[in-house]
Amino acid sequence: MLLSEMKKGETAVIVRVGGNGALRRRILEMGIVKGAQIYVDKYAPLKDPLELIVKNYHISLRVEEAAQITVEKLQQQD
């Protein structure tokens, strides 16, 4: 699934970072790399951008940028 399709409070593992050029490089430099765990903390009031937690720090991404990232959702533990 795409990162942009995840809901608030969900956790996933990054499978693939798409895109090309400067945008892809910037995303990778922020720690959004294959195998990293990512948590959707919240969405802005108009659903763009979304705030993520990766490697214990907060990142905001536009929905169109998040649509370039493929993730595998982790099961929630009760």
Go through 12-51 and write b for each residue having 16 or more CB atoms within 10 A of its CB, e for each that does not.
bebeebebeeeebeebeeeebeeeeebbbeeeeeeeebbe
One digit per residue, the tens of pLDDT, for the chain of length 78 reads 999 999 999 999 999 999 888 989 999 998 999 999 999 999 998 888 999 999 999 999 999 999 999 999 997 655
pTM of the model: 0.85
Kindly list the structural domains of the chain, giving each domain's residue range(s) and its CATH number in brackets, ordered by start: 3-73 (2.30.30.90)
Looking at the DSSP bridge assignments, the partners of residue 71 are 14
